[in-house]
Structure 1
Amino acid sequence: MIEDDQRLAGMVVTYLGQNGFDVQHAASAREGLDKLKDSPVSGAFSIILLDLMLPDADGLDVCKQIRSQGGAIANTPVIMLTARGEPMDKVVGLELGADDYLAKPFEPRELLARLRALLRRQQATAIASSSAARVLRFGRLEINLDARTVKLDGQDRPLTAYQFNLLAAMAERAGHVLSREQLLDALKGEALDAFDRSIDVHIGRLRTVIEDDPKQPKRIITVRGAGYVFAKVQDA
């Protein structure tokens, strides 16, 4: 947890500790980034709680730095905590790689529910398999469901955990129009996200990664009034 409000941090650490979580707290951006880099095992943290307004850096910049790291750290889910609840703040945070967004003040039970939902998604998609990797191929695009990697023209295309799950959910249903509600259900299994327009933000991010021209998408297509469809035939 990277949060400069000591009172809030103490409350969260105590509450989550009582519910089975081991929480490490950092009061500044630098301390938080150092903890991530110096963890005994790379990627030892399951989730990062990140305050948007820190004394030594903007939380949005910290999120960008986390996503630019190599290895498991870059893929660690991020929940942004902030007193700024404006929709545009949420959009920017999600575009920069946050997986979820919780405005202050918040109920500890809601934070706990969001943490558990993120962990369920991680566990459901990270089950090790001794069989051959499940790979979906659409023209020049390759999605490895077991390795959780995406390649375009053989080059890696990094995505956050949430964005990969969203892409996989659509790719596995290629050719079917999916509404925002159906996508949220596929990702979380429950209506927990109060800001359902986040799907649109993540779709936009996906397009910048896998489309040749994000402004004229050929892979993830908007169906007005209905949702999105992942094209079954690509690069034809």
Structure 2
Amino acid sequence: MHRIVLVEDDPDIGQLIGGWLGKHDMDVLVEPRGDMALARVAAEQPDLVLLDIMLPGLDGLSLCRALRGRFAGPIVMLTSLDSDMNQVLALELGANDYILKTAPPNVLLARLRVQLRQVKAAPAPIISQGSRLQLGTLFIDQATRTVRLGGQTVVLTTTDFDLLWQLASHAGQILSREALFQQVKGRDYDGLDRSMDVAISRLRQKLGDSAEAPTRIKTVRQKGYLLVPDEWS
């Protein structure tokens, strides 16, 4: 099921859209205020954000611009404003689509599905903001030591979190055991200690990776470990 945050201040419209999409494998979470939407999206980590333009607190176009640097998924404007200027501005600010509220429900559903399919097919971009990292549906906050995958909280030990942070902040790069021992444990690798291998196995299990044929965190023979950035959609 896809998770969608709908930012819409009209409760009747929010209920109508949420009910319709809910019948088609989409879990819709309605946020009525634009100025609360950034925190809501960060907390929920949805697959797609659906924005009205006329919102209390912060308008949808400003919200789209703010979200684009923090949210890797599709942003779709859903508005009653049939204006070429607004449509062009929304797309330039980072929106993936602009849909009028007068569009038939089946058309809305089809266009949202197109966006969700494209996300699934595309490599996950890496978004880094200081103490936060996002790779597709994997979200890591170093300040709060929070990890979410697909919107679900992943509970990690201190060592496992530090290990994941090192791997994710160097996604696409091979990190040697020697480097990981220094960065995570603060000591040299003695050539015999297998605790890093055990920690990698725990991470794979908690992050939904295969133990037999891992695709998200790979072991590179005689070199180290690699977190693959394109496997988190």
TM-score by length of 2: 0.49
**Structure with more strand by fraction:** 2
TM-score by length of 1: 0.49
